[in-house]
Amino acid sequence: MKILAIDLGTSSVRGLVLDADANPLPGALARRKVRLTMADDGTGTVDGPGYLACLVECLDELAGAGHLRGVELVASSGQWHSVLPLGSDGKPLGPVLTWLDTRPAPPARSAGPADPDAFHQRTGTWWHRCYWSVRLPWLREHTSTPVARFVGLVEYVLGALLDEAPMSISMASGTGLLDLHTLGWDVEACALTGIRPDELPALAPADWRGRLRPEHARRWPDLTDARWAGPVG
């Protein structure tokens, strides 16, 4: 058995193949540098399709060298807090807002959570520009085309490759919208954000495992039967 470990980071996308004891195999590493767009106004974004292309190139490189043979499990880690608005056709309506972007600000019309301490106890977060509770209304206001739903960078990338890509609890816990006790979207956080749960990613059960879409299984046949575990933030 082999394990493919994927890191969907801010500065690079990496794929590393390990043995069953999680020891890296010699030479089985592919990496692509990510191009960040930074500006003095606080902009910190990446291009979603370009980011996906980086992951595809990594998988192509590992496959071409024969490193994907015997891979049975794909484990991934990804950057928290990133968010991407999608249109009704499922296509990006702009770049991905990364955790580096400091432009989002709480809506002037909102006073925030009724009880900030209780909000923190439920979600593990504060009402802050780093979290989706502030980012989503800001994005909706600054996106010219109506937003159908929001996803994280991880869900966008994996959603292009897998039969389904619900948001893992680990990734959801970094949004500021998750009730850590019920493991569902927090009612007050969604109300503050002005977002309906159906505009957010579906949440993955603890035993969720993904599979490659048929067209990608043909491209990387060694991963046809591999199980993809829920990403870790």
Per-residue pLDDT tens digits for 38-55: 999 999 999 999 999 999
* pLDDT over 90 at 17, yes or no: yes
Residue range of the domain that includes 28: 2-229
- CATH code assigned at 206: 3.30.420.40
Q: What CA–CA distance (Å, rounded) separates 48 from 46?
A: 6
* pLDDT over 90 at 19, yes or no: yes
Measuring CA to CA, how many Å separate 73 from each of 27, 70, 131? 19, 9, 30
| pLDDT confidence of residue 144 | 93
Per-residue pLDDT tens digits for 146-155: 999 999 999 9
In SS3 terms, the chain reads as: CEEEEEEECCCEEEEEEEECCCCEEEEEEEEEECCCEECCCCCEEECHHHHHHHHHHHHHHHHHCCCCCCEEEEEEEECCCCEEEECCCCCECCCEECCCCCCCCCCCCCCCCCCHHHHHHHHCCCCCCCCHHHHHHHHHHCCCCCCCEEECHHHHHHHHHECCCCECHHHHCCCCCEECCCCEECHHHHHHHCCCHHHCCCECCCCCEECECHHHHHHCHHHCCCEEECCEC
Mean pLDDT, the chain, integer = 96
Number of domain units in the chain: 1
Per-residue pLDDT tens digits for 87-144: 999 999 999 999 999 999 988 778 899 999 999 999 999 999 999 999 999 999 999 9
| pLDDT confidence of residue 109 | 79
Percent of the chain's residues with pLDDT above 90:
97
Taking residues 167-178, what's their average pLDDT?
A: 97
| pLDDT confidence of residue 92 | 97
Taking residues 209-225, what's their average pLDDT?
A: 98
Using CB atoms within 10 A of its CB, is residue 36 exposed (0-12), middle (13-18) or buried (19+)?
A: middle
| pLDDT confidence of residue 1 | 93
* pLDDT over 90 at 21, yes or no: yes
Q: Which of 15-24, 109-118, 148-157, 201-210 has the lowest mean pLDDT?
A: 109-118
